[in-house]
Amino acid sequence: MRTIKLLSGMLLVTLLMSACSSVSVATDYDRHVDFSKYKTFAFYKPGIDKAEISDLDKKRILRSIQYELQNRGYRLSENPDILVSIFTKEVDRVSVYNNVGWGWGYYGYPYWGGGYNSVSTETEGSLYIDLIDAGKKELVWQGKGTGYLVTNGNLAKKEERITEFVKEILEQFPPVSTQVAVVQNGQ
């Protein structure tokens, strides 16, 4: 009984921690590519130049990507196996709260009305990381992270948020190879 309580407690903590992730990630890849052949990477400047964000934010994103890929054993190279490109999208989300209703006023008398309206705006951004086969010049993997951005001028939080976006996206790379299953089935 004690073991069951311990396991259910651990499960609850795991679920809560996974629910706290504030970056929604989606990935897509070419199932016919053997990702184990990729060992080196470089940044694809023409694609990166098209990203509509500040050069400082581009540098932050590229440093995070380089860090994550190198931690996975990939090397930065002038003769790369894969090219890394990025692009971004941004949408302002406006929320209007109408706080009008009834309540208890002075001396315990009920009232209707009062209240206030409030408007808040948050910026939701998407970061796309594209990995391109350098030899074939074909997209082989794409990761997209979507979440709210830090835009209040706090540079430490901004850098932390960018790092979180990149880390969450690249946790899905390289994908589990489906090439083995295809070969085993004789296809």
Domain assignment present for residue 5? The answer is no
CA 87 – CA 89 distance, rounded (Å): 7
The DSSP code for 68 is H
Question: On the CB side of 39, how many CA atoms lie within 13 Å of its CA?
Answer: 2
Q: Would the pLDDT of 36 be above 60?
A: yes
Q: According to the model, what pLDDT value does residue 19 have?
A: 39
Q: Is the pLDDT of residue 186 over 60?
A: no
- Total domains in the fold of the chain: 1
What are 122-162's pLDDT values in tens digits? 778 899 999 999 999 999 999 999 998 776 788 898 899 99
Q: Is 99 part of any domain?
A: no
Q: Do the Cβ atoms of 148 and 118 come closer than 8 Å?
A: no
182 in a structural domain: no
**Does 54 fall in a domain?**
yes
Task: Provide, rounded to the nearest whole percent, the portion of the chain with pLDDT above 90.
Answer: 55
**Collapsed DSSP state (helix, strand, coil) of residue 177:** coil
Would 65 be classed as within a structural domain? Answer: yes
- For range 9-18, the mean pLDDT: 37
